[in-house]
Structure 1
Amino acid sequence: MNKKANYRQPNLFLEVIKGLGANKLTSALLVVIFVSSFAVVQVTHLARAQLIQQDKLLQQRDELDLQWRYLLVEEEFYSQHARIEDIATTQLQMKRPTSQNEQVIILQ
């Protein structure tokens, strides 16, 4: 009796496969739907990866810009005339020449 009950109930999976085999257009459309859905997933993944890469590059640009600003401030500090003159007089024992120490050379 159990065999008769199983025999009367159609196997749904086999019926779907038979139906798809009978209708080629439906099968083709089903394949196209699956391919397009996988393509959407792949494109979404690649777009997110590109956005993450863009965020990293923007952060790196900001860090480099900050370092550049620090370097400009440091360059301005080291190139101040008063600081250079102070180092020349204290560390290098340099002094301004007087009129007696000046020599004029005339080239012909």
Structure 2
Amino acid sequence: MKLTANHRQPNLFLEIIKGLGANKLTSALLVVIFVSSLSVVQVTHFARQELIEQDQLLQERDELDLEWRYLLVEEEFYSQHARIEEIAIEQLQMKRSTSQDEQVIVLP
């Protein structure tokens, strides 16, 4: 008796397939909805990847900008006249020339 009761219950999956097969418009709309949902997921994934890459590039730009500023400060430090004069006097033993040290040469 149990055996006959199981055959009486409809198989839900088979009923859904039969219903979709009977109505072609519903089947087509179901396929379109499925494809469009997969497209939305794919586009969202690509957009997130592009945002991650943009953030990385912006961070790299900021690091390079900071390095550029440090280099400008360093260049300004090394080009100060007082520092250059100090190095010339101490390391190269140079001195400012006086009018007595100057010689004028006249070319014929």
Percent identical? 81
Partner-residue secondary structure (3-state), 1:44 = helix
Partner-residue secondary structure (3-state), 2:14 = helix
Alignment correspondent of 2:5:
5
Deviations 1:3-47 (A, max 9, x none): 211221111100110111111111111011111111111111111
Q: How far 1:99 moved relative to its partner? A: 2.1
Deviations 1:57-95 (A, max 9, x none): 111111111111111110000000000000001001111
Alignment correspondent of 1:70:
70
CA-based RMSD of the aligned residues comes to 1.5
Distance 1:30 1:80, change over 3 A: same
TM-score (norm 1): 0.91
Alignment correspondent of 2:95:
95
Distance 1:82 1:13, change over 3 A: same
Matched letter for residue 47 of structure 1: A
In structure 2, the gaps of 5 or more residues are: none
Which 4+ runs in 1 deviate beyond 6 A? none
The farther-off stretch of 49-58 and 67-76 is 49-58
- In 1, Cα distance between equivalents of 2:67 and 2:6: 77
- In 2, Cα distance between equivalents of 1:107 and 1:72: 45
Q: How far 1:55 moved relative to its partner? A: 1.1
Total equivalences in the alignment? 108
Partner-residue secondary structure (3-state), 1:96 = coil
Alignment correspondent of 1:54:
54
In structure 1, the gaps of 5 or more residues are: none
